[in-house]
Amino acid sequence: MMVSWAMVSAAVAGCVLLLVHLVLMVACAPLARGLLAAGMARAGGAERVPVLGRWRLILSCARRHGVRAAGGAEIVPGAALAVALAACVLVPSFALGLPGGGLSDLLTVSGLLVLARLLPLLAALEPGGARAGLAAAGDVTALAAMQAVFPLAVAAAVMASGHGGIDALLVRLRDPDMGGGRVSAMLLALALLLAGPDVGPGDDVRAADMMVDLGGRGRAAMELARDLVLMGWITLAGDLAWPGGLAVPQADALLPPAISLPGAVAAWLARTGVICAGIVAARVVVMGSARGTRGRLVLALLFATLAVVVLFADQEVA
């Protein structure tokens, strides 16, 4: 069976777009964390925090030669970064139909994002340091509680599209006759934002304590992986909340038209900024106390349950 030049050129162009997508995700991940830090400092009346501070920290760590971690913890930073990159590859940012879109399953992506956050806990527990171990134990408790929302999120996606594929779900949500599915997707986006990212009170302190025994490139890899996980959750929630901003292939085409891509990139950047502003507002209003983790869990479960209920009601009406 002969392969046409059109298919080969489309595959090459798709790989280029996928590379652009990954580069943008990596470049913007520390900026998103920097925006959150700057916004929270401003809202709390603290000293001004530079938006580029995260990138400066990562690059500064990468230039230094840190002490090699002991035992299995030596491979954890690289593994966490690889898992976070894999998750970000599967989360659509500005276009659908890119290579690997068929593997972009909500359960797979959520699992990779959770795994990328769990791996640093292993690095913190391995050396046996009290400070890192206590921080890891606290993060394990918070993370385990937050995972209760993900089965409901996957159930809502399956009900909306017939399976958990993210690309198929987003294409379905762009349908004008989707009805209650759009409301359900908005609720699902809110649930994921509350359950996934480590943006609650004390999360930054625990992350710093867990990495206290890391240095050099290992610390840089772990910091970047943490930012990529945050970017993955923000992008996934933004896709669900506003799928109309994504560029999609036209009929009988493998890739979106080139003319639609600049606008789609701008839409992705805009919704990322809006979500960061919303997280800052939620941090001040909902997560500003020591009970922030409990409040996040209750709200996340509430929104995820409502997403399923709305879909049930919509199907009953239909």
Q: In this predicted model, what pLDDT tens digit does every residue of 81-122 receive, in sequence order?
A: 999 999 999 999 999 988 888 778 888 898 899 888 888 777
Q: What percent of the chain has pLDDT over 70?
A: 82
Confidence of residue 237 (pLDDT cuts 50, 70, 90): very high
- The pLDDT value recorded for residue 2 is 46
Residue 208 in this model has a pLDDT that exceeds 80 = no
Q: Kindly report which listed range (14-18, 46-50, 93-97) carries the lowest average pLDDT score.
A: 46-50
Residue 10: the pLDDT is: 77
- The pLDDT mean for the chain works out to 81
Give the pTM: 0.90
User: pLDDT tens digits for 1-12?
Assistant: 445 766 777 788
How far is Cα 9 from Cα 4, in angstroms, rounded to an integer?
A: 9
Q: Span 308-318, mean pLDDT?
A: 68
Greatest mean pLDDT among 111-120, 181-190, 235-244: 235-244
- Is residue 110 within 8 Å of 166, Cβ to Cβ? no
